Copies of this chain bind each other. A is one copy, B any other.
Amino acid sequence: MRKVLLTGLLALILSGGAMAYSVGAYANDDPGRGLYLPSDITLAQAQLAIEAGLKVAKERGLLMDIAIVDAGGNLKAFVRMNGAFLASVDIAIKKAKTARGLNMPTSDLHRAAVPGGELYGIEATNGGMVIFGGGELIKNLEGTIIGAIGVSGDSVANDTLVAQAGAKAVLKSFMAALKTPKP
């Protein structure tokens, strides 16, 4: 994606901005080009995070709802395992939105939101925020937040574990891409 963008911009600059807008060459590869921000989480990455989360859940016999939001906080992908909590549909999505909405894991909110804490009552905003663990940020290699993952269905410790596995899987995929020799 980055290379595509660079090529496009270079061409635009070199041509003095007069070049006709032409992305036909890319149309087949990415019909959504221009409709979302460069480096925003892709569906492939979201599915990678979900697969990694499901793998940990299955290994441990956990039943999970897993939600991914993009950098804009909008739902990108979601799965509910067979038998996982119905209420966790909303909780998983809200965990991901809360993490991205405040740029921190939801576990960081836990202490601040108790009575007397600095953010006491924050859960009543934004149509309901989640102030316990299970929401984690998804970042790229530059540390830019490209989305978030929210997991709900078991103990907070297990929700967090699965969420971190998902976020880590995306980060690893960036590292793997770096190491791959280019032809």
A140's closest neighbor in chain B, by CB?
B34
Kindly state whether residue A168 has any CB partner on chain B within 8 Å: no
A178's closest neighbor in chain B, by CB?
B17
Kindly state whether residue A27 has any CB partner on chain B within 8 Å: yes
**Interchain CB contact under 8 A, A76 and B71:** no
**Interchain CB contact under 8 A, B80 and A63:** no
Q: Interface on A for B, CB 8 Å cutoff? A: 1-2, 5-6, 8-10, 12-13, 17, 21, 23, 27-28, 30-40, 42-43, 46-47, 61-63, 70-91, 94, 97-98, 100-103, 110, 113-116, 118-132, 141-146, 155-156, 178-179
Interface secondary structure of A, over-half rule? loop
**Interchain CB contact under 8 A, A125 and B82:** no
Task: Tell me the complex Cα distance, A84–B37, Å.
Answer: 12
Contact partner of A142 (CB less than 8 A), chosen from B21, B118, B129, is B21
**Interchain CB contact under 8 A, A127 and B128:** yes
Q: Which 5 A-B pairs have the closest CB atoms?
A: A72-B72, A32-B83, A87-B101, A35-B83, A17-B178
**Interchain CB contact under 8 A, B120 and A110:** yes
Point out the residues of chain B lying under 8 angstroms from A2, CB to CB: 9
